[in-house]
Amino acid sequence: MKIGPYRLANRVVLAPMAGITDAPFRTLCRQFGAALTPSEMVSANALLFGSVKTRRRLVDPSEPEPRVVQISGADPEQMARAAQQNVDLGAQIIDINMGCPAKKVCNKMAGSALLKDEPRVVKILGAVVAAVAVPVTLKIRTGWDLQHRNAVRIARIAEDAGIHCLVVHGRTRACGYRSPAEYQTIASVKNVLQIPVIANGDISNAGQALDVLRKTGADGVMIGRASLGKPWIFRSIVAGLGNDNSSSEPSLRQQQYIVLQHLQAMYAHYGEAHGVRVARKHLAAYCRGLPRAADFRRQVYTLIDANAQQAFVREYYERLQRLPGVLQAA
């Protein structure tokens, strides 16, 4: 699969997730095989004010290529300026968010709210594509609600505007994340486009990825919430799509190493105090499905010191490795 001049290593990419896909997590997912690791969604308006929080969400020129920044907004001129600014800072692909269902985003007529305003979609896509010399991609949902599924019309608008790749989440904005994803609309989108289409929604293993690719004819899959606490999911899915079933869940010792390395990266990125706080949600996800997870989560939220947090994580995994019947250390 190619996006502009970039040939991707495989067909499995990370979904941009606010508060999750920061630089440390993107780096980890890339190490495990994610072909693309977009930034968290950056508000075009906030970017122009240059807050510390916003600057942390931007890509760094040292990150692996191609570097992708996702921007969100409702004003075509602001979106064009935000795209230009990100390219100047090292972005090699600009992704436009028209899929976020969050109320605080939709109330500003951004994210998936834009699906209700097709003329504005034309203006935003045209302005951003004209503003930068790098590929521009777009992420959408199937529509605003079940009665207004307009993904096919938006897809045609996107291709006509010069968008290089389209990601479709298989739910409407009204569905949020509650109902099961549906893939027929994604298949309909793929049938009318020449540009690559990536399917997103309810994909958490290689079997589901293969099933979605068959149902939709999509060129690739995007993994979101299933990667939180399991960044190694990309290795597993990439292997499965290549008919290689040898990739297995990391042992507890390997997971311990991965988590501790992730903690160090977060402390370096955010500073120790803020890094400890950001790490809590990742640690709560890492222990899903493991023994004594509830106790682990309860205690980890009480720790305010990086050394104490690391020591607690190390002790937890070492205790698990001594339990019978769990993933043994390799």
What are the φ/ψ torsions at residue 206 (nearest 5 degrees)?
Answer: -65, -35
CA proximity to 236, closest of 24, 33, 27: 33
Q: CA separation (Å) from 60 to 39, 65, 225?
A: 10, 10, 24
Assess contact for 209 and 201: CB atoms under 8 A: no
**Is 29 a residue of the active site?**
no
Compute the half-sphere exposure of residue 288: CA atoms within 13 Å on the CB side of its CA.
12
CA proximity to 101, closest of 92, 110, 88, 93: 110
Rounded CA gap, 199 and 186, in Å?
A: 7
| Residue from 29, 100, 106, 287 carrying the catalytic annotation | 100
CA proximity to 128, closest of 100, 86, 168, 90: 86
Active site (catalytic) residues: 100
